[in-house]
């Protein structure tokens, strides 16, 4: 039986650009990550997932790879990467790489060759197609807005396909050579000692055909490229040809547009070991329409999709934050009066769920969205594209469009340099202007300060992580939802020997419940003092049922 290390450890996502800049050039780097391994070990982390560190022009911050076998010089060298693996191993921390194989960068030599030379065999590594009259080959659009076809310069009526930015041309998985190349990449990093891969948009890699898509505002044509049989087959092949030959290799899929049934199929066919669902990430917690002052969000909008997946699939990657999402306290908690309580409540909620828990850098110190971020300060290509399309559709000013985009989908909120202390640039580096501005809250919210405060969010995460690491029930117990209200989540985690009840109030309301504490022992709670049978604002408790 292969080891399933990914089921036992908490995974911490590092966004290398922003984690720690050891050489003070404004960009985070691998040496910086090595410096902070002890911090992660102390936190209780058993595995780190590195967002892409490969050579890249960074049009989409590394999700556009120009050489899969080279480390981006901004991050360091292959030797630094080998050192990171060795240093992590010393501390029993495993490494997960980001595998971005739906597309390459347009600067990848194979794509460059395909662009320049019509007869190159690399044309068929991608999708080059003739236009349909004056129009692109089909009506599909890119996830980052606009058509998913870009004109090939200096060639008449020829286009290439890109589901994301035009600098990210899609690879053709009907071409055997492409599949073989990916298998070699997998082997290369597994041989180095990497434990697994987080696979970018992995349920979209196989395009069954290039017919027009059904009408839809977003991702038109997805019925021809999402969760196709060909997609399963490729992943099954990776498993058989590569992963099965390594002791503990695993794949976690980034898979939007999934149903629990399809998600379970990925697991049952061993196409993936687990995946991320996106229903809760799209839940209506935003001020969706700029004219509404208050969002019509209730915490149940978050609980409901999460619980659906908890109940319906055997294993999952559970998360609240990643590099594409707003900060969870800003979104689901309270930035002001109940800031600490709400951050801790979210920690109890997340770390009590079934599946492998993913914590995103900064989540453990309660990082908030930027207070103010302007269009000019924004780096995120998707946010900028969203501003353009909002302007086109709603005919509003750039400012107005940006205001809305910034509140809802600007991914830079999660990408600000990490807040290590209250010194210049929050201790991210020694003072060189960072690639993205420092979050305004760094003096109040940082590791150094929180380490020294007994009741800090960081110290609470540590406690909660320890509890999870030591509890078979939290790691492997079954999940059962208990009916609750719009504001309070209640669920059980059970094994044959033990039952935990988790109660999480994600609102400012107080609730009384005569039976709340009946026959129960409190294992962990986010308030110093719990009033019997009362649930205070953002109070969260893990009970053991007697
Ligand atoms: C998902 C990644 O998480 C996101 O950051 C990226 O922009 C797209 N895939 C395209 O690779």
Nearest to 22 by CA among 110, 108, 83: 83
Long-range contacts of residues 69-75, Cβ cutoff 8 Å, at least 24 apart? 69/185, 69/188, 71/30, 74/17, 74/25, 74/27, 74/29, 75/16, 75/27, 75/28, 75/29, 75/30
Q: Which pLDDT belongs to residue 292?
A: 54
Asked if the model's pLDDT at residue 122 lies above 90, the reply is yes
pTM: 0.97
Q: What is the CATH number of the domain that holds 285?
A: 3.20.20.80
Q: Is residue 86 part of a domain?
A: yes
Rounded Cα gap, residues 498 and 3, in angstroms: 25
Q: Are residues 511 and 364 in the same domain?
A: no
Name the token pair of 423.
């010194």
pLDDT, tens digit, 9 for 90 and up, residues 17-66: 999 999 999 999 999 999 999 999 999 999 999 999 999 999 999 999 99
3-class secondary-structure state, position 69? strand
Q: Give residue 352's Cα distance to chain centre.
A: 19
Greatest CA separation for the chain: 76
Backbone phi and psi for residue 126, each to the nearest 5 degrees, phi listed first: -125, -170
Counting the structural domains of the chain, the total is: 4
Rounded Cα gap, residues 280 and 141, in angstroms: 24
Q: Which pLDDT belongs to residue 70?
A: 98
Percent of the chain residues topping a pLDDT of 70: 98
User: What mean pLDDT do residues 328-348 have?
Assistant: 97
User: What mean pLDDT do residues 377-404 have?
Assistant: 93
Q: Are residues 322 and 262 in the same domain?
A: yes
- First-to-last C-alpha distance (Å) of the chain: 35
Q: Is residue 251 part of a domain?
A: yes
Q: Which pLDDT belongs to residue 295?
A: 60
Residues contacting residue 477 through CB under 8 Å, at least 6 positions apart: 354, 493, 494, 495, 498, 500
Neighbours of 55 (CB within 10 A): 21
- The boundaries of the domain holding residue 522 are 478-545
Backbone phi and psi for residue 406, each to the nearest 5 degrees, phi listed first: -65, -35
Rounded Cα gap, residues 498 and 245, in angstroms: 37
Domain end, chosen from 364, 384, 409, is at 409
Domain end, chosen from 430, 465, 500, is at 465
Q: Are residues 69 and 125 in the same domain?
A: no
Q: Is residue 146 part of a domain?
A: yes
Q: Which atom of ligand 1 is nearest to the CA of 103?
A: 11
Q: Are residues 457 and 360 in the same domain?
A: yes
User: What mean pLDDT do residues 123-140 have?
Assistant: 96
Signed CA dihedral, 394, 257, 312, 11: sign only: negative
Q: Are residues 276 and 405 in the same domain?
A: no
DSSP 416-427: SPP---SSGGGG
Q: Is residue 390 part of a domain?
A: yes
Q: Is residue 48 part of a domain?
A: yes
Rounded Cα gap, residues 346 and 357, in angstroms: 13
Rounded Cα gap, residues 238 and 104, in angstroms: 19
Q: Are residues 307 and 447 in the same domain?
A: yes
Confidence of residue 346 (pLDDT cuts 50, 70, 90): very high
Q: Which pLDDT belongs to residue 285?
A: 60
Q: Is 526 left (phi over 0), alpha (psi -120 to 50) or beta?
A: alpha
Rounded Cα gap, residues 328 and 331, in angstroms: 5
CB of 289 closer than 8 Å to CB of 408:
no
User: What mean pLDDT do residues 189-198 have?
Assistant: 98
Rounded Cα gap, residues 87 and 80, in angstroms: 10
Q: Are residues 231 and 143 in the same domain?
A: no
Q: How far are the Cα atoms of 367, 404, 425 from residue 407, in angstroms, in the given order?
A: 16, 5, 24
Q: Which pLDDT belongs to residue 101?
A: 98
User: What mean pLDDT do residues 485-507 have?
Assistant: 97
Q: Which pLDDT belongs to residue 3?
A: 73
Backbone phi and psi for residue 429, each to the nearest 5 degrees, phi listed first: -155, -165
CB of 412 closer than 8 Å to CB of 436:
yes
Q: How far are the Cα atoms of 11, 40, 78, 361 from residue 82, in angstroms, in the given order?
A: 20, 18, 6, 22
Q: Are residues 501 and 384 in the same domain?
A: no
Task: Quote the crossing angle between the two packed helices 381-394 and 398-408, to the nearest 10°.
Answer: 130
100 lines ligand 1 (CB under 6 A): yes
User: What mean pLDDT do residues 146-164 have?
Assistant: 96
Rounded Cα gap, residues 163 and 371, in angstroms: 32
Percent of the chain residues topping a pLDDT of 90: 92
| Residue 486 CA to ligand 1 centre (angstroms) | 32
465 lines ligand 1 (CB under 6 A): no
Neighbours of 79 (CB within 10 A): 10
Rounded Cα gap, residues 251 and 96, in angstroms: 9
Q: What is the CATH number of the domain that holds 519?
A: 2.60.40.1180
Name the token pair of 414.
């999660």
Domain end, chosen from 134, 161, 188, is at 161
Radius of gyration of the chain (CA): 23
Q: Are residues 348 and 489 in the same domain?
A: no
Asked if the model's pLDDT at residue 316 lies above 80, the reply is yes
User: What mean pLDDT do residues 101-119 have?
Assistant: 97
Mean pLDDT of the chain: 96
Q: Is residue 509 part of a domain?
A: yes
Nearest to 244 by CA among 200, 190, 175: 190
Residue 200 falls in the annotated catalytic set: yes
pLDDT, tens digit, 9 for 90 and up, residues 464-485: 999 999 999 999 999 999 988 9
Q: Which of 200, 204, 410, 412 to mutate to test the pocket of ligand 1 (most atoms within 8 A of CB)?
A: 200
CB of 56 closer than 8 Å to CB of 64:
yes
Rounded Cα gap, residues 467 and 502, in angstroms: 13
Confidence of residue 283 (pLDDT cuts 50, 70, 90): confident
Asked if the model's pLDDT at residue 289 lies above 80, the reply is no
Rounded Cα gap, residues 225 and 209, in angstroms: 8
Q: How far are the Cα atoms of 255, 326, 368, 380 from residue 408, in angstroms, in the given order?
A: 20, 8, 14, 13
Q: Are residues 352 and 237 in the same domain?
A: yes
User: What mean pLDDT do residues 157-184 have?
Assistant: 98
Name the token pair of 76.
């360091």
Q: How far are the Cα atoms of 350, 353, 354, 436, 481 from residue 307, in angstroms, in the given order?
A: 12, 9, 10, 35, 7
63 lines ligand 1 (CB under 6 A): yes
Confidence of residue 287 (pLDDT cuts 50, 70, 90): very low
User: What mean pLDDT do residues 244-271 have?
Assistant: 97
CB of 416 closer than 8 Å to CB of 437:
yes
CB of 297 closer than 8 Å to CB of 269:
no
Nearest to 161 by CA among 201, 199, 113, 111: 111
358 lines ligand 1 (CB under 6 A): no
Q: Is residue 233 part of a domain?
A: yes
| Residue 382 CA to ligand 1 centre (angstroms) | 9
Q: Are residues 199 and 338 in the same domain?
A: yes
Pairing of strands 128-130, 158-161: antiparallel
Q: Are residues 92 and 80 in the same domain?
A: yes
Q: Is residue 442 part of a domain?
A: yes
Asked if the model's pLDDT at residue 145 lies above 80, the reply is no
| Residue 104 CA to ligand 1 centre (angstroms) | 12
Q: Which pLDDT belongs to residue 282?
A: 87
| Residue 200 CA to ligand 1 centre (angstroms) | 6
Q: Which of 54, 58, 60 to mutate to test the pocket of ligand 1 (most atoms within 8 A of CB)?
A: 60
Rounded Cα gap, residues 88 and 101, in angstroms: 26
Q: What is the CATH number of the domain that holds 115?
A: 3.90.400.10
| Residue 166 CA to ligand 1 centre (angstroms) | 13
User: What mean pLDDT do residues 199-210 have?
Assistant: 98
- List 106, 200, 363, 364, catalytic entry: 200
Rounded Cα gap, residues 445 and 343, in angstroms: 12
Write b or e for each residue in 520-545: b if 16 or more Cβ atoms lie within 10 A of its Cβ, otherwise e. Answer: beebbbbbeebeeeebbbbbbbbbee
């Amino acid at each position: 039986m292969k080891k399933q290390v990914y089921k036992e450890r908490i995974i911490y996502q590092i966004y290398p650009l922003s984690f720690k800049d050891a050489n003070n050039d404004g960009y985070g780097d691998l040496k910086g990550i090595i410096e902070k391994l002890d911090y992660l070990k102390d936190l209780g982390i058993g595995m780190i997932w590195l967002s892409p560190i490969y050579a890249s022009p960074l049009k989409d911050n590394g999700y556009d790879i120009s050489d899969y076998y080279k480390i981006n010089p901004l991050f360091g060298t292959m030797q630094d990467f080998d050192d990171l693996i060795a240093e992590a191993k010393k501390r029993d921390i495993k490494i997960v790489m980001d595998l971005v194989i739906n597309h390459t960068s347009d600067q990848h030599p194979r794509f460059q060759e395909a662009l320049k030379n019509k007869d190159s065999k690399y044309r068929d590594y991608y999708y080059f197609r003739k236009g349909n009259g004056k129009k692109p080959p089909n009506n599909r659009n890119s996830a980052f807005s606009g058509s998913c076809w870009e004109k090939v310069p200096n060639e008449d009526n020829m286009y290439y396909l890109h589901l994301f930015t035009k600098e990210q041309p899609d690879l053709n998985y009907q071409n055997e050579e492409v599949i073989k190349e990916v298998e070699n990449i997998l082997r290369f990093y597994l041989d180095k000692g990497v434990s697994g891969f987080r696979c970018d948009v992995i349920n979209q890699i196989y395009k069954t055909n290039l017919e027009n898509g059904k009408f839809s505002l977003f991702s038109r044509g997805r019925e021809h490229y999402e969760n196709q049989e060909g997609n399963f087959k490729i992943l099954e092949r990776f498993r058989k040809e590569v992963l099965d030959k390594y002791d503990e290799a695993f794949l976690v899929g980034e898979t939007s547009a999934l149903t629990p049934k399809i998600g379970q199929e990925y697991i049952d066919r061993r196409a993936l070991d687990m995946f991320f669902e996106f229903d809760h990430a799209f839940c209506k917690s935003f001020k969706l329409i700029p004219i509404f002052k208050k969002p019509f969000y209730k915490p149940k909008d978050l609980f409901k999709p999460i619980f659906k997946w908890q109940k319906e699939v055997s294993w999952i990657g559970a998360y609240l934050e990643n590099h594409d999402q707003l900060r969870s306290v800003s979104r689901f908690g309270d930035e002001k009066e109940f800031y600490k309580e709400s951050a801790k409540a979210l920690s109890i909620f997340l770390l009590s769920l079934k599946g492998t828990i993913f914590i995103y850098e900064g989540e453990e110190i309660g990082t908030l969205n930027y207070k103010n971020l302007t269009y000019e300060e924004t780096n995120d290509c998707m946010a900028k594209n969203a501003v353009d399309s909002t302007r086109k559709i709603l005919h509003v000013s750039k400012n107005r469009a940006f205001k809305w985009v910034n509140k809802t989908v600007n991914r830079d909120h999660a990408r600000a340099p990490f807040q290590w202390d209250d010194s210049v640039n929050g201790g991210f580096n020694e003072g060189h202007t960072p690639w993205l501005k420092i979050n305004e809250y760094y003096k109040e919210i940082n590791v150094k300060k929180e380490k020294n405060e007994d009741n800090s969010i960081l110290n609470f995460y540590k406690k909660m992580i320890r509890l999870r690491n030591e509890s078979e029930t939290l790691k492997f117990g079954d999940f059962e939802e208990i009916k609750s209200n719009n504001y309070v989540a209640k669920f059980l985690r059970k094994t044959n020997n033990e039952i935990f009840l988790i109660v999480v109030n994600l609102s400012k309301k107080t609730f009384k419940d005569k039976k709340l504490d009946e026959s129960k022992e409190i294992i962990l709670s986010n308030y110093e003092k719990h009033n019997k049978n009362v649930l205070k604002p953002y109070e969260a408790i893990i009970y053991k049922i007697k």
